[in-house]
Chains A and B, each alone.
Chain A
Amino acid sequence: MSTTTIFVPRDAAALALGADAVERAIAGQIAARGLSAKIVRNGSRGLHWLEPLVEVDVAGTRMAYGPVAAADVPSLFDAGFLDGKTHPLALGPTEAIPFLARQTRLTFARCGIIDPLSLDDYRAHDGFKGLERAISMAPAEIVREVTESGLRGRGGAGFPTGIKWNTVAGAEADRKYVVCNADEGDSGTFADRMIMEGDPFVLIEGMAIAGLAVGATKGYIYIRSEYPHAVATMRAAIDLARSAGVLGRSVLGSGHTFDIEVRVGAGAYVCGEETALLNSLEGKRGIVRAKPPLPALNGLFGKPTVVNNVISLASVPVILHKGAAHYQHFGLGRSRGTIPIQIAGNCRHTGLFEVGFGLTLREIVDDIGGGTASGRPIKAVQVGGPLGAYFPPQLFDTVFDYEAFAARDGLVGHAGITVFDDSADMLQMARFAMEFCAIESCGKCTPCRIGSTRGVETLDKIARGIDREKNLELVADLCNTMKFGSLCALGGFAPYPVMSAITHFPDDFTPARSATE
Chain B
Amino acid sequence: MTLQMRAGDIATRVEAILAELAGLEGPLLPILHEVQATFGHIPSEALPMIAEALNISNAEIHGVVTFYHDFRQEPAGRHVLKLCRAEACQSMGSDLTAKRLQALLGTQIGETSPDGAVTIEAVYCLGLCSCAPAALLDGVPLGRLDDEKIIGILEKVRA
Contacts and interface: CB of A to CB of B under 8 A. Distances in A.
Interface of A: 12-13, 15-17, 48-49, 51, 184-190, 192-193, 225-229, 263-269, 280-286, 301, 342-346, 350-352, 373, 382, 386, 416, 418-421, 424, 429, 432, 436, 439-440
Nearest to B95: A428
Contacts of B87: 187-188, 345, 382, 386, 418, 429, 432
B71 A188 contact: no
B80 interface: no
Contacts of B29: 263-266, 280-281, 283
A432 B90 contact: yes
A285 B67 contact: yes
A420 B87 CA distance: 9
A267 B130 CA distance: 21
Interface in B57-110: 63-64, 67-71, 82, 86-92
Given A268-B67, A424-B91, A16 B124 contact: no
A418 B124 contact: no
A288 to B, nearest CB: 12
A301 B143 contact: no
B125 interface: yes
B131 A51 contact: yes
Contact of A226 (B89, B125, B142): B125
Nearest to A271: B68
B151 to A, nearest CB: 15
B129 A418 contact: yes
Contacts of A301: 25-26
Contact of B70 (A225, A281, A424): A225
Nearest to A439: B124
Contacts of B140: 15
B127 interface: yes
Contact of B128 (A190, A269, A286): A190
B13 interface: no
A267 B129 contact: no
Contact of A268 (B25, B26, B69): B69
A232 B136 CA distance: 16
A346 B91 CA distance: 6
Determine which residue in B33, B90, B124, B131 has the highest number of CB atoms from chain A within 10 A of its CB, and name it. Answer: B131
B125 A187 contact: yes
Given A12-B126, A16-B134, A280-B29, 4 more contacts: A13-B130, A16-B141, A17-B143, A345-B132
B104 to A, nearest CB: 20
A282 B26 contact: yes
Given A266-B71, A440-B124, A16 B142 contact: yes
25 contacts: A16-B134, A48-B130, A48-B131, A186-B125, A187-B88, A187-B129, A188-B88, A188-B125, A190-B128, A225-B70, A228-B136, A228-B139, A229-B141, A264-B30, A265-B68, A281-B26, A281-B29, A283-B27, A285-B63, A344-B129, A344-B132, A386-B87, A418-B88, A420-B91, A439-B124
A52 B124 CA distance: 24
Task: Return the 8 tightest CB-CB contacts between A and B, nearest first.
Answer: A283-B28, A16-B143, A266-B68, A187-B86, A344-B129, A350-B130, A48-B130, A267-B69
Given A187-B125, A345-B91, A424-B91, A17 B131 contact: yes
A198 B98 CA distance: 30
Contacts of A187: 86-89, 124-125, 129
Contact of B136 (A226, A342, A419): A226
Interface residues of B, number: 42
A185 B69 contact: no
A265 B32 CA distance: 11
A189 B127 contact: yes
A226 B126 contact: yes
Contact of B86 (A227, A280, A386): A386
Contacts of A440: 124
Contact of B131 (A16, A284, A382): A16
Contacts of B144: 16-17
Contacts of B86: 187, 386, 436
B86 to A, nearest CB: 4
Nearest to B54: A283
B153 interface: no
A424 B82 CA distance: 23
B157 interface: no
A264 B33 contact: yes
A189 B127 CA distance: 6
B17 interface: no
B123 interface: yes
Nearest to B32: A266
Given A226-B136, A301-B25, A188 B68 contact: no
Nearest to A351: B130
Contact of B88 (A185, A193, A264, A344): A344
Given A285-B67, A346-B91, A418-B88, A189 B129 contact: yes
A412 to B, nearest CB: 16
Contacts of A184: 127
A255 B126 CA distance: 40
A13 B90 CA distance: 17
Given A285-B63, A345-B88, A420-B91, A190 B129 contact: yes
Contacts of A281: 26, 29
Interface string B29-68: 1101100000000000000000000100000000110011
A345 B91 CA distance: 6
A452 B82 CA distance: 24
Contact of B124 (A269, A343, A344): A269
Contact of A193 (B25, B69, B82, B127): B127
